[in-house]
């Protein structure tokens, strides 16, 4: 295993674990919001009408979501929406990192132009497209439920990245075909 490939493999594994832990934490937060909404509301209550509690979501660009109302109390619906969408986005991101390290592992002893690698690259492309769709769905639900205090967020960079990765998968598929042709000549 070469140095760069080993570093990529290790980093992808580390980030996968971090994303799964984050997804689990968001899922537990969601379940707590359903099971004991009063305790969650009390934990997030700012106690002041002029203070807002804002959550920031990085991977899927859910952006900033104020989960407290104008009076400083928790908006349980937004909290549940945010934690559910966050769990889904973090799980999708963990799945991307999982496929990345699998691709690196499959390519160690041979060429990356293999059918399983093409399949994994395509899956990464679709996962990149799925994450922003979760964001759009959560954002739309928040916008409809809490208008005019909530804004609609659409980040198309993940969709663009997904389309680019899908195009790259076609290049890998062509590479597999060329390798098969060369193997047939030898």
pLDDT of residue 143: 77
The total number of structural domains in the chain stands at: 1
Strands 54-57, 63-66: parallel, antiparallel or unpaired by DSSP?
Answer: antiparallel
CA atoms within 13 A on the CB side of 132: 15
H or E, element range at 27: helix 3-35
Which stretch of 20-34, 43-57, 121-135 has the lowest confidence by average pLDDT?
A: 43-57
Strands (E), 38-169: 54-57, 63-66
Q: Which of the four pLDDT bands, split at 50, 70 and 90, describes residue 49?
A: very low
The pLDDT of 41-63, averaged and rounded, is: 57
Identify the domain containing residue 99 by its residue range: 3-185
Residues forming beta bridges with residue 74, ordered by sequence position: 68
The full length of the chain comes to 186
pLDDT tens readout for residues 115-149: 989 999 999 999 999 988 888 888 788 778 777 66
Please give the residue that has the higher pLDDT: either 61 or 149.
149
Q: Which two tokens mark 29?
A: 């937060």
SS3 category, 133 = helix
What confidence category does residue 1 fall into, taking pLDDT thresholds of 50, 70 and 90?
low
Average pLDDT, integer, range 95-118: 89
| SS3 (DSSP) at 103 | helix
Neighbours of 4 (CB within 10 A): 9
């Amino acid at each position: 295993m070469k140095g760069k490939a080993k570093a990529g493999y290790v980093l992808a594994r580390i980030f996968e674990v971090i994303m799964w832990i984050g997804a689990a934490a968001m899922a537990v937060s969601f379940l707590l919001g359903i099971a004991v909404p009063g305790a969650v509301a009390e934990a997030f209550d700012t106690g002041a009408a002029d203070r807002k509690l804002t959550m920031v979501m990085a991977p899927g660009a859910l952006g900033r979501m104020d989960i407290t109302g104008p009076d400083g109390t928790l908006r349980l619906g937004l909290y549940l929406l945010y934690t559910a969408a966050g769990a889904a986005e973090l799980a999708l991101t963990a799945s991307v990192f999982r496929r990345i390290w699998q691709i690196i592992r499959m390519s160690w002893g041979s060429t990356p132009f293999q059918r399983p690698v093409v399949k994994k690259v395509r899956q990464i492309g679709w996962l990149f497209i799925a994450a922003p769709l979760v964001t759009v769905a959560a954002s739309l639900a928040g916008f409809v439920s809490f208008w005019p205090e909530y804004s609609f967020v659409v980040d198309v960079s993940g969709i663009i990245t997904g389309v680019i990765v899908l195009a790259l998968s076609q290049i890998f598929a062509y590479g597999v075909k060329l390798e098969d042709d060369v193997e047939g000549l030898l």
